[in-house]
Chain A
Amino acid sequence: MHRFANPTRFLKIAAAVQPWMAGLTIILFGTGLYMAFFTAPPDYQQGESIRIMYVHVPAAWMGMFCYAAMAVASAVALIWKHPLADVAAKATAPVGAAFTFLSLATGSLWGKPMWGTWWVWDARLTSMLILLFLYIGYMALQGAFDDRTRGAKASAVLALVGAVNLPIIKFSVDWWNTLHQTSSFMKQGGPSMPPEMWIPAVVMAVAFKTYYVWVLLVRIRQELTANKVRILRLKQVHGG
């Protein structure tokens, strides 16, 4: 049906927006890092180790945000068969997996000096590890079928089923007792820290988000061009 399942218009827009996203990402990272190291104060209990928060928290948010985006795109692909939705979901997976891995790794590096352990099997850490496995499963499933459309369908179903993990991660610290503290940001009455501490975290989170859009555009363009290449190759083989 879609011999060129690529809205050419989208490719043009993506190519035009990409340098803006690149510039925005670099400016935001510059600002965010400056604030994280020079304007943000140390914590009265955790000292300078609090600065790990400025990568740990945004990475965890983005790990969850990317999964939500991937699940929504998968639903759109399954229900409405929009050709871009599948491509967007597939392009999001490695970025989300990277953020989730970073939140686990930086959390571990923060936990060792503060809690006294690299890892503990509490509900928050375990559900976050499951999120990483869901991303890995999604990517593995995509390549597990000879038929590309079947691979896309199977992985879209996994993305949707795995979405139940998102509220579990979010509320794990409220539903069960965990070593991980409850949320410092999403709570009634605002963040439980002064603005000079939460603003850098938010700036870093926005930087992570524009980075995601940047890489997403690059990966979608690659995927759409690869589709065109496949069609042209078929054409060569079958002699038009």
Chain B
Amino acid sequence: MAMKRKHKRLTFVIVAMALVGVATGLVLYALGDGVSLFHSPTDIVTKAPDPNQSLRLGGLVEEGSVQRAEGSSSVHFRVTDLENSVDVVYEGLLPDLFREGQGIVTTGKVVNGTFIAEEVLAKHDENYMPPEAVDALKKSGQWQGDAQNANTGAAK
């Protein structure tokens, strides 16, 4: 008798857990891209979002694209997902990790194809390394720069 009850409870818990799991999966699937924090440059180029709508753009700062305007804190650069890229204009302080080849996430609006940024956040990758090791790699010519971590930027 007691054994039977235990079996019943076990089955009940397993079935309930499975149902909760499936339901959560469906909800997350339905939310889809809504759960993602940012859009890729390709999204912006292909979808041409509403200029009044604030959104997030994520990708890598294109090598050699950063231009600082003289006499102001205005910065101009391009964000790329290695397929498409978007012009970004930003005025303000940049985070310590901001540099060319680095992943960033920026909030702003798309006006005439240019992304007017209000906030720029730096995204770093999952690779950690002591500076000496980087120097050694650079010396031996094996260093591929931050582009080797491009997959973590936003290339999705």
Contact = CB atoms under 8 A, between A and B. Distances in A.
Would A and B touch once assembled, by the CB under 8 A criterion? yes
Interface of A: 41-46, 50, 53, 75, 78-80, 113-117, 120-123, 160-161, 163-164, 168, 175-179, 181-184, 187, 192-194, 196-197
Interface stretch (B63-71, B72-80, B108-116, B121-129): B121-129
A151 B33 CA distance: 38
B6 interface: yes
Contacts of B17: 160-161, 163
A194 B133 contact: yes
Q: Is the interface of A mostly helix, strand, loop or mixed?
A: loop
B95 A115 contact: yes
A183 B20 CA distance: 26
A80 B6 contact: yes
Given A44-B133, A116-B95, A117-B121, A192 B126 contact: yes
A42 B130 contact: yes
Given A114-B122, A194-B133, A78 B13 contact: yes
Given A114-B97, A123-B35, A164 B20 contact: yes
Interface residues of B, number: 42
A193 B95 contact: no
Contacts, number: 117
A184 B128 contact: yes
B154 interface: yes
Contacts of A187: 126
B132 A176 contact: no
Contacts of B128: 43, 46, 50, 53, 184, 192-193, 197
B37 A46 contact: no
B20 A161 contact: yes
B24 interface: yes
B13 A160 contact: yes
Contact of B121 (A79, A115, A176): A115
Most chain B CB neighbours (cut-off 10 Å) among A114, A161, A177: A177
Contacts of A177: 36-38, 40, 58, 154, 156
